[in-house]
Chains A and B, each alone.
Chain A
Amino acid sequence: MSTTLNVVTSQEYKYGFVTDIEADSVAAGLNEDVIRFISAKKGEPEWLLEFRLKAYRHWLTLAEPDWAKVDYPRPDFQKIVYYSAPKAKAPKYASMDEVDPELKRTFEKLGVPIHEQAALAGVAVDVVFDSVSVTTTYKEKLATVGIIFCSFSEAVREHPELVKKYLGSVVPAADNFYAALNSAVFTDGSFVFIPKGVTCPMDLSTYFRINNKESGQFERTLIVAEEGASVSYLEGCTAPQFDTNQLHAAVVELVALDHASIKYSTVQNWYAGDKNGVGGIFNFVTKRGLCKGKGSHISWTQVETGSAITWKYPSCILLGDDSIGEFYSVALTNHKQQADTGTKMVHIGRNTKSTIVSKGISAGDSSNSYRGLVKVQPKAEGARNFSQCDSMLIGHTCSASTFPYIEVQNRSAKVEHEATTSKIGEEQLFYFQQRGIPAEEAISMIINGFCKDVFRELPMEFAVEATKLLSLKLEGSVG
């Protein structure tokens, strides 16, 4: 079996190329002037600059966290370029024809079907290229039902009252080291507002792309669903191949009011470094949803296959009575990748429910950890949690760890956690091969079966993509 296993995982990164667009950048380094520059460049109101400066001053007092089971050279924050925007002919394009052809070619290579949007009905894409939102589609159609879907900068300009009300309300500026850094220097991102009673007629989607060498990306996403509203949001990522590590410290905040529902799906496939662990993205993300209202519902689904280092815990604060939090995750690591990912479910309201399904697959020399917290506060009468964390190991030089924290302070709570670790059995493979299915395909089928509980939570297009991605990522590792 080992020969086949080894042949399969060594696929080079398909999306490694650099687009040459003259960037409008600030010099590397971080100080209050850089923050003022970013804020001025974006024409921000005074309160937002204050928010940034406050975050920066707090960040200075914080130490970089070291509790995660990951090992990497600490980034030099003075060597990072905190602002770079693609040179645009006009603040916004009237149509796709006006978009820089170079940029369009990049998207074509990436397979982002931006010029086929009309045909690909149902998905509106807000493309973030480096740090500035270039084009937003379907905005008008969404606007007719009162939905706001735009870049974060635009939201600051057009809807400052909404941004001011919700920004930092879920992830406070002082939350943690990377969230504070993001709050100080974030350049752009997405903003979604679904008004009362509206069900978003299509899945909303943003493709992020890191382009400029040495430019860390600090995205800020804020999604607000008012009473009875619902939305499904898709985030997908690919990045070009670089040798220097790139830092990505995004913050995503979700707010669900009474009976609102937000479904957030991610497929993450950033450059993971080469086989020897050179290069690759550092993905230090703070994602948190607040189930603020009664009966609200937030669901995170993630397929994490890229990045050299992943440090990511999409969480739910279940504040409203009867609110529901969900976390479905597949994390695959190969070669020298290291992932420390999981979730936090904080039960505050009565009869709150949470479900955690996490599937970790480690191959090569990688390290894959699940780290989670289920916390039931004293007033969370009738809280219920179910967690299932499974790991699969492919090869004997990788590792899989599970660190679930369970804190229960209410006796009526019912909390269950299960975890298993195993490998693909030789008998299983033999069974497939006996029926004429080659080992490589058999492994892909076994992995897909292992991840099925998560994949079926993904929107259809993503589920297809995720299945392909896993097979691709594991090519050469099995045999």
Chain B
Amino acid sequence: MTSAVASNLLADLLSGPRPAEWDKLREEAETRLARLDLPTTGDEGWKYTDLKALGGITFGPAPEARVDVSSHLLPEMVGTRQVFVNGHHAPHASCVSAVPAGVRFLPLGTASEACHALGTVGPVHNQSPFEDLNTARFEDGAVILVPKNLKVALPLHLLFLTKAETPVAVFPRLLVVLERGAELELVEEHHGEGTYLTGPVVEIRVAEGAVLRHERVQRDSVEAFHLGTLKAEVAKGGQYHSRTLSFGARLSRQQPWVRLAEGAEATLDGLALLGEAQVADTHSFMFHAEPHASSHQLHKCIVDGQARAVFNGQVLVAPKAQGTDARQQSRNLLLSETARVDTKPQLEIYADDVKCSHGATVGALDPEELFYLQSRGLNADDARNLLTYGFAADVLTHIPVASLRRALRQLVMARTQAASLGDLA
């Protein structure tokens, strides 16, 4: 079957592992794709994000490659890492010697238990074809299964590296299942060089009382397109806390979708640090399906150059979701004359006994705060950089993995020119 989107965008890709169980899933995705075209700014969900830049590029299959990953390793997770290069699992770079017994942390191709569970979390994203593209074309990815009541002490590290000589497309697939009462910290990083399209899809199931903490770092190449989908279903009393930090990509779009059952909790924090002509778009959907769940979102963007930040945060409270507590904040800092922010926090509420709020701010640095720092001896540049760093650091403070926290703080310091102030990390 030829699909309009796929044939315009992609050269024929190599076919990856294709267990028969996935045939139906892939076929359905192909059928939907056949009817879809790339969304345009005429589509409400893509009003502020123009995919025209994708139009002229044909992305080919990404070859397997060997790379040196030493610079990407984090000490806490040396023995709990799975590395994917150009979408393919890289055994030479991976190491799972420290993964505790009982935890399954495997490449997709070798995890037969993933066959039936894949593609079952949440609805198919209907505003964009990228989830379907992934489902139809994914070649590899990872599966994480944590058994009942196991609290995993070490964080797990997933590293996706892409090195593109010519434009390539990769569609990593990730499935994370936490059984009842399990706990896990997961770090998912995307790095790359060259022009490529990455369309990861992450599916998460958090069972009753389980807790998943998920750090997501997007440091793709500034020539890259990152079009990601994340879907999480959190069962009764479960918790899902994620933090998405976007630094790279010429154009990135994150589409997290979270469904909360009774008494569940979710956090979707985000930071986007943008310059030049980068575009970072976050379209989140927080679905309070059942009573007494709570959700918190803090999304911050620092926008410089001709960059553009887009945020669309939807919170839906179903009729029976009484006792919902939903908070959402979109905070945006504009650093240049030509930077632009489009933000749209959205509440849709069908239950009456709820506490829901959202807020959005857009502005430059506060002249009074700048004056305050200057009155204490900082020069104008340092004062500006320190405040900019402080605006971002707020989101980084609670990253549980110390080395990652430090690395990201240093990155933010460098990007906000705050490094001259000394080591604040």
Please report A residues at the B interface, Cβ cutoff 8 Å: 67, 376, 378, 391, 393-423
Cα of A394 to Cα of B349 in the assembled complex, Å: 12
Closest partner residue, chain A, to B334 (CB atom): A411
Do A411 and B339 touch across chains, with their CB atoms under 8 A apart?
yes
A394 proximity list for chain B (CB < 8 A): 352
Q: Which of A398, A409, A421 has the most chain B CB within a 10 Å cutoff?
A: A421
Cα of A419 to Cα of B22 in the assembled complex, Å: 44
Please report B residues at the A interface, Cβ cutoff 8 Å: 44, 48, 319, 322, 332, 334-364
Partner of A67, one of B44, B336, B356: B44
Given A398-B352, A411-B337, A421-B354: A406 and B322 interface contact (C-beta under 8 Å): no
CB distance from B270 to the nearest CB of A (A): 16
Do B357 and A415 touch across chains, with their CB atoms under 8 A apart?
no
B364 proximity list for chain A (CB < 8 A): 411-414
CB distance from A403 to the nearest CB of B (A): 5
Do B362 and A408 touch across chains, with their CB atoms under 8 A apart?
yes
8 contacts between A and B (CB under 8 A): A398-B352, A401-B346, A401-B348, A403-B344, A410-B334, A410-B337, A411-B363, A413-B363
Given A413-B362, A416-B361, A419-B358: A408 and B347 interface contact (C-beta under 8 Å): no
Give the 4 A-B residue pairs with the shortest CB-CB distance, closest first.
Answer: A411-B334, A393-B352, A417-B360, A414-B363
Partner of A405, one of B322, B344, B356: B344
Given A404-B346, A408-B340, A408-B341, 7 new contacts (CB under 8 A): A376-B362, A400-B347, A404-B360, A406-B343, A407-B48, A414-B364, A415-B362
A421 proximity list for chain B (CB < 8 A): 347, 349, 354-357
B343 proximity list for chain A (CB < 8 A): 406
Cα of A83 to Cα of B246 in the assembled complex, Å: 59
Partner of A408, one of B334, B336, B337, B359: B334
Do B349 and A401 touch across chains, with their CB atoms under 8 A apart?
yes
Cα of A398 to Cα of B340 in the assembled complex, Å: 36
Closest partner residue, chain A, to B314 (CB atom): A403
Do A397 and B361 touch across chains, with their CB atoms under 8 A apart?
no
Do B322 and A393 touch across chains, with their CB atoms under 8 A apart?
no
Cα of A414 to Cα of B334 in the assembled complex, Å: 10
Closest partner residue, chain A, to B304 (CB atom): A411
B338 proximity list for chain A (CB < 8 A): 378
Cα of A416 to Cα of B332 in the assembled complex, Å: 10
Cα of A403 to Cα of B44 in the assembled complex, Å: 12
B345 proximity list for chain A (CB < 8 A): 402, 404, 417, 419
Closest partner residue, chain A, to B354 (CB atom): A421
B349 proximity list for chain A (CB < 8 A): 391, 393, 399-401, 421
Do A418 and B357 touch across chains, with their CB atoms under 8 A apart?
yes
A423 proximity list for chain B (CB < 8 A): 352-354
A376 proximity list for chain B (CB < 8 A): 362
Closest partner residue, chain B, to A419 (CB atom): B358
Do B356 and A420 touch across chains, with their CB atoms under 8 A apart?
yes
Cα of A405 to Cα of B44 in the assembled complex, Å: 12
Given A393-B352, A415-B363, A423-B353: A402 and B336 interface contact (C-beta under 8 Å): no
Closest partner residue, chain A, to B366 (CB atom): A414
Cα of A407 to Cα of B340 in the assembled complex, Å: 8
Do A396 and B357 touch across chains, with their CB atoms under 8 A apart?
no
Do A409 and B359 touch across chains, with their CB atoms under 8 A apart?
no
Closest partner residue, chain A, to B326 (CB atom): A421
Closest partner residue, chain B, to A415 (CB atom): B362
CB distance from B203 to the nearest CB of A (A): 28
Closest partner residue, chain A, to B333 (CB atom): A411
Cα of A370 to Cα of B47 in the assembled complex, Å: 19
Do B336 and A411 touch across chains, with their CB atoms under 8 A apart?
yes
Cα of A411 to Cα of B355 in the assembled complex, Å: 32
Q: Which of A396, A410, A411 has the most chain B CB within a 10 Å cutoff?
A: A411
CB distance from B80 to the nearest CB of A (A): 41
CB distance from A205 to the nearest CB of B (A): 36
Q: Which of B332, B355, B361 has the most chain A CB within a 10 Å cutoff?
A: B361
Cα of A167 to Cα of B82 in the assembled complex, Å: 67
B340 proximity list for chain A (CB < 8 A): 407-409
A412 proximity list for chain B (CB < 8 A): 364
CB distance from B421 to the nearest CB of A (A): 22
Given A396-B322, A411-B335, A411-B337: A419 and B347 interface contact (C-beta under 8 Å): yes
CB distance from B294 to the nearest CB of A (A): 14
Partner of A399, one of B334, B337, B348: B348
